[in-house]
Structure 1
C-alpha cells in the first residue's frame, strides 16, 4: 500500500475528482488545514483518512500527513485538481524498484494552469538549486514520492512554503538519488492560495530563499564539476 498525503484548505470542489483518481492500493490521507467549506467532512464521507492540522501552512499540513502515514511508501499531491493522482504509480516505480530515493513530478503546464509570475519564479528557483547542488532539477513541484522512513529521518522543520525545498535540499545533502518524471499540470479548481497570487508567490519565494541560505552554509564552496549523475564541488 502507498499512503498519499493531500494537504487541504477549502478544496471541496476538487476533492471528489482527486479522490476518485487514486489507484487501487493507494490510501488518501487528507490533511484538513483549517477548512471552512466542509472539506474534511466531505473527504471522510468519500473514504479518505482525515487528519486535522490547525497550524496553517503547507509544510504544517504536509508534515502532519507524513507523520500520520504508516505505509512503507509515501507520496504527496496537491488537492486542488491541478495534478492527477493517477500519475502517482509512475513516480513510485523508481522508488519501489530501488533506482531512486526521491522522485519529483516535473509539472508540464496546460493552458491557463500556471500564471506567468509563478512560472518565472519557479524557473529562477530551479536555476539557483542547480547551481547550489548540482542536481538536474527543472521544477520543485508538490507531487513527489519516497520511502516514509527516509523522509522522517530528514528532520524536516519548515512548516510553510519552504517545506518542499527543504525536503529536496536535505535529500541532496545526504546524496539521495533524485529523479524527475514529467506530469501534466492543469488549471486548479477554485482560487489559488499560494502561487496563483503575486503575494502568495512572494511569500513562497521568501520561505524558499531562507532554505537555500541554510543549505548553502552547509555546502563546501568552490567550482563544480560533473561526476556522473550530478556535479560536485572541487
Structure 2
C-alpha cells in the first residue's frame, strides 16, 4: 500500500473514483469527436468502430497508467480526415471542439445532479457514513475533473484539441507556419507537464479555474433549487 501511494499521483483511497470518472470523461470525449466526424461525412472513425460509448475502444493503456502516476495522460485519439467534410475548416472546428464541450456538459450535468441530491435532502438522509463519503467524492471529482479536462484540452498546443481549433481558424499561410513548428510545440507541451515551475503558471491556474467553475455552478444550482 505504501509503495502504491508513493508512485500514484492520486491518493490510493480515491483511485477507484478517479478511474470511474476518467472512464466516463474520456469515453464521452472521444465518442463526441467520432460522432460529429461521422455526422459531417467522414466515416473513418465509424469504420474503426469508434462511434461507440464502449470505453475499451477509446482507452490507451499507457495513457491511463501515466495519468495515475504522473498526473496526466490521454485516451486513444480519434482519426479524422477533414478532406471528407463539405466545409473542412468549419466542420473541423466543430469536431475538435466537440470533445472539450462534452466534458463541459458532463461537468454541468454532474454538478446539477449533486446539487439536486443536496437540496432535496437525499444526501442528508443517508446514514451510512462510508456510502455518503463515496457519493460526495464521486460527484466532486466528476465535476472538477470534467471542468479541468474542458479547459486543459483547449490549450492551443498539439496534440490537444485547442491546437486543432486554432489550426482550422487561422488563414492558410499561418496554418502552414504552425505546421512547420508543430514538432517543437509538442516538446513545449511536454516541458509544461514535467517542469514544476512551468506547471505553476500553466496547469495550476487551470486547476484553480476548474475549481472556480465547479463552485460557481454549484452555487447557482443550489440557489435555483432552494
TM-score category of the 2 structures, normalised to the smaller one: under 0.3
Q: Which structure has more helix as a fraction of its residues?
A: 2
Q: Which has the larger radius of gyration?
A: 2
In the superposition, the TM-score normalised over structure 2's length comes to 0.26
